[in-house]
Structure 1
Amino acid sequence: MQTFFTLIVVVQVVSALAIIGLVLLQHGKGADMGASFGSGASGSLFGATGSSNFLSRSTGIAAAVFFSATLALAVVGGKAKVSGGVMDNLPVSGAPASAAATAVPASAPADTQSNQIPK
C-alpha cells in the first residue's frame, strides 16, 4: 500500500512540474500581434497555430493527470486510522509535581523525624 501511495505522489509531482513548464512555454494573447509582423512564429516546429493547440492540449492532459492523482491520494489517504491529536503523542517531561505526590502517605512509619530534612 505504501508503494502505491509513493507512486501516486511521484505521478502528481511530475504532472505538476509538467503543468508549470507547459504554462511557461505558452504565449500570451499579446504575442499574436508580434507574429503578424514577422517574428518567425510561422517557421517554428509546430507552425503558426500548431504550438498553441499542442501546448493547450498537453496542459489539459497534465491537469487531468494531476487532478486524478490528487483524487487518488485523497481516497488512499482517507483510509488512514487516526488515533488522536498531535498533542497526545508528546512525552510528559517537566510536569509540575502535584500536592498528592509530595504529601506523606498515610502508611508512613511513626518515626518520620529521621526522614525529614533539617532546616
Structure 2
Amino acid sequence: MQTVLIVIHLMIVLALVGIVLIQRSEGGGLGIGGGSGFMSARGAANALTRTTGILAAAFFITSLALGILARYSDSPTDILDRIPSQTQGTGSGVLDQLGGTAAPATVPSETPAADAAAEIPGTSGSDVPSGQ
C-alpha cells in the first residue's frame, strides 16, 4: 500500500512541477518573463490555476497519508535504529573497517640542523655551520 502511495505521490510531484513551470510569469523576476503562451492568456490562466490547485491538494493529501501510514505501520522504524550500536573507543569505527594501514607516527626532532646534516652524506651534526 505504501509503495503504491509513494508512486502516486511522485507522479503528482512531477505533474505539479511541470504545471508550475508552464505558467506564465507575471514579471518581476530579473525583468524576464511575459512572452507568449501556448493558449490564450485568460484561458490558460484559469486552466493552469485550477490544475495547480487540484495538484496541490492531492500533494497535501498524499503527504498526510504517507505520514499517517509511516506512523501507524506495524513496525515503526527510525533510520538511527538501523545503525549497529558500538561502544566508544573500541577501534571498530567506519574508518577502521576500511582496512587501510596506519601511517607510522613520526616524532619531530629537537634540532632541525641535525636532521638536515643527517640527510647529507659525509657530514655529522657537529659539522654543520652555525650560520654566523
The percent of aligned pairs where both chains have the same amino acid is 31
SS of the aligned residue for 1:64 comes to helix
Say how many residue pairs are matched. 85
Partner of 1:64: 57
Q: Which amino acid is 2:14 matched to?
A: L
Kindly tell me: are residues 61 and 85 of structure 1, through their superposed partners in 2, closer, same or farther at Cα, counting changes over 3 Å?
closer
- The one-character-per-residue Cα deviations of 1:52-101 (angstroms, maximum 9, x if unpaired) are 110111011111111100000011000143578836751659937xxxxx
- The one-character-per-residue Cα deviations of 1:23-61 (angstroms, maximum 9, x if unpaired) are 10000113xxx98xxx765xx5x4331001101110111
Partner of 1:17: 14
Partner of 1:110: none
Partner of 1:95: 90
Partner of 2:101: none
* CA distance in 1: counterparts of 2:90 and 2:77, whole angstroms: 24
More RCO (CA 8 Å, sep 6+): 1
Q: Which amino acid is 2:90 matched to?
A: A
Partner of 1:99: none
CA RMSD of aligned residues (A): 3.4
Q: Between Structure 1 and Structure 2, which shows a larger proportion of helix residues?
A: 1
2:2–2:69 contact (8 Å) kept in structure 1: yes
* CA distance in 1: counterparts of 2:77 and 2:24, whole angstroms: 50
Kindly tell me: are residues 52 and 13 of structure 1, through their superposed partners in 2, closer, same or farther at Cα, counting changes over 3 Å?
same
Q: So what's the TM-score if we normalise by structure 2?
A: 0.51
Unpaired runs of at least 5, structure 2: 28-32, 92-132
Partner of 1:28: 25
2:70–2:76 contact (8 Å) kept in structure 1: no
SS of the aligned residue for 2:41 comes to coil
